[in-house]
Amino acid sequence: MRSVHFYITYLLCVSLGILSVIFVLYWSFRWRGGFAWDGSTRQFNWHPVLMVTGLVVLYGNAVVLYRIPLTWGQNKNSWKLLHGGLLFLAMLLAILGLCAVFDFHNSNRIPNLYSLHSWLGISTVTLFTAQWMLGLSAFVLPCSPMAFRQLLKPVHVCMGSMIFVLSIASCLTGINEKLIFISEGKTNATQRYSALPPESVFGNTLGVLIAAFGLAVLKILSTQKWQRPEPRCDETTRLLSPEES
């Protein structure tokens, strides 16, 4: 029964993540003109797509990977590499998303890092990058002492959840900021945001999906009975033990 409850929640989590990516892609194609890398608003469209896909959906799925019961009886090293690989891909997408928006701003002489959204976003990506590099050195490289891993593990887990919450907050503030800006601009705005035109309704719905995905991930992370059982001896002393190499 415990596994049934988990997989229902996990299926909900995966579905909400996929829907979030589909919605942000549809928004960019339906109302924002698609994608390019030419300094136009179509270049900006890469920013929300890459951030939602990487910083939210891939990141969220990576942090719940160890909670999947089917992985508990298997060698943790392979899942550790998958966990790190998903996070690395998420980090690359997030950095590329930052490059897209900074280049767009600079091409159009728009100030950088002046809004709450931008402060949250750059802080999230900075913490994420530092967390990934520290996790790589502590939990993957075979030269890392076991005592250091044991000391860092609770900090690593706590920071992972905090970064995920920040990523959700960054995306929600970004959606709200974008909807307000396009309703006040001179182009691509037929009604003000307060009148709730179709694009605003769609953007709000995307925000609700992202928030629901975040709640599903946090539910999985916070449920004690869904945590991976600790091994009798810490197998993280080396990436591969002699009998696994």
Asked whether residue 171 is domain-assigned, the answer is yes
* pLDDT for 244: 35
Q: Of 133, 128, 134, which Cα lies nearest the Cα of 166?
A: 128
Asked whether 84 and 135 are in contact (CB, 8 A), the reply is: yes
pLDDT at 232: 56
State the pLDDT at residue 229. 83
pLDDT of residue 190: 56
Question: How many other β-carbons are positioned within 10 Å of the β-carbon of residue 75?
Answer: 12
Q: How many domains does the chain have?
A: 1
Judge contact between 117 and 51, C-beta under 8 A. Answer: no
Q: How far is CA 99 from the centre of its chain?
A: 17
Compute CA distances 46 → 56, 57, 59, 131, whole Å: 15, 15, 18, 24
Asked if the structure places residue 106 within a domain, the reply is yes
Residues constituting the chain: 245
Residue 238 lies in a domain: no
Evaluate whether residue 27 is within a structural domain: yes
Residue 122's pLDDT is 97
Residue 78 lies in a domain: yes
- Residue 78: domain span: 2-224
CATH number, domain of 180, equals 1.20.120.1770
10-residue stretch averages of pLDDT, the chain, 245 residues long: 88 98 97 96 97 98 93 83 96 98 96 96 97 91 84 93 98 96 64 84 97 98 89 47 31
Structural domain contains residue 197: yes
Task: State the SS3 of 38-102.
Answer: CCCHHHHCHHHHHHHHHHHHHHHHHHCHHHCHHHCCCCHHHHHHHHHHHHHHHHHHHHHHHHHHH
- Cβ-proximal residues to 14 (8 Å cutoff; 6+ apart), any chain: 61
pLDDT of the residue at 11? 97
Domain assignment present for residue 229? The answer is no
| Per-residue pLDDT, 76 | 81
Question: Given the structure tokens 């990934």, which residue do they identify?
Answer: 132
Domain assignment of residue 244, yes or no? no
CB 213 within 8 A of CB 16: yes
Q: What is the pLDDT of residue 78?
A: 87
Residue 230's φ and ψ, nearest 5 degrees, are: -75, 140
Contact 62, 217 (CB under 8 A): no
d(CA 112, CA 212): 29
Rounded to two decimals, the pTM is: 0.90
Record the tokens describing residue 181, joined without a space. Answer: 């800006």
DSSP class of residue 196 equals -
Cβ neighbors of 21 (< 8 A, separation 6 or more) are 49, 52, 53, 57
